[in-house]
Structure 1
Amino acid sequence: MKTMLKTILAAALALSATPFVARADSWSSYRIPESGTSVDIPVAIFTEMAGKPDGYGQQFRTSDGRADLTVQAVSNRQGLSPAQFLARKDPPSGIVYKRITPNFFVVSSIKRDKIWYDRCNFTRGYVHCVLVNYPAAEKRQWDRVVTRISHSLSGG
């Protein structure tokens, strides 16, 4: 009986995430004029403005508040490398995925049942970032969306 209940709950959760995946075909480019940061955003998923981050940009969230997206550009007048910039942010020790190159870094992990994913690209003068938080239980449904957001990130 418990196994059957778990199966039904898992199926219900998967179906509840399906509308996000189905609506991920409506994308728009979001641009930060001050820095030249540009990224594709699934506008049917992230429907609400959710505030301003440090530097330039915008925070967005889903209508039910279970996921959010921050597009951000911050000054890098000091010319920090991706590794130096990340170290100064003092990321948590339990990072599940980390990739650092001369031009960008990506870090991701799980905190309080949510996956957090951060990618920052480095160009002369600015760090261009996307930060996405979404339910860990919906990882498969979000993978394609997060990948497209991440790969579309560019800067002036």
Structure 2
Amino acid sequence: MILHAARRFGGILSLAGLGLLAGGMLFFGAVMAPLVFTRLPLDVAGPFIRAAFPFLYGYCLLFAGLSCLGYLARRRLGAALVPGFTILGTLWSWFWLMPRLDAWRLADNSAAFARGHDISTWVFGAEFFLVLLLLIREGTKQP
């Protein structure tokens, strides 16, 4: 009985967490960032978007964590790898890459900053792609 309830609750956590994670990532990457850089002056847009990153990273960690816990409760270890990868990529971006990007920007090292920004974009895009694939897979499963 308890095991069944844990798996059922895990199903809710895994899918709700995954859906909210995908939606938040899509909103930030496809709506917020482009809107900020097309509607605000660059000297305002840069600091604004940098101030938003801790909120984005916290959001991603929260919902990837909930999704991962849900998949683990359901004993779906393969599926848990996707939000697990998102957690690791987010932590790496937040605590390793972002400080370096800030340092390169402050040092006016535009080549290093551009490379780092490209890496950041690819990591975020890969995370989003995997989350979206898993969400589509979960949504198209036969009951």
TM norm structure 2: 0.32
TM norm structure 1: 0.30
Structure with more helix by fraction: 2
Higher relative contact order (CA 8 A, sep 6+): 2
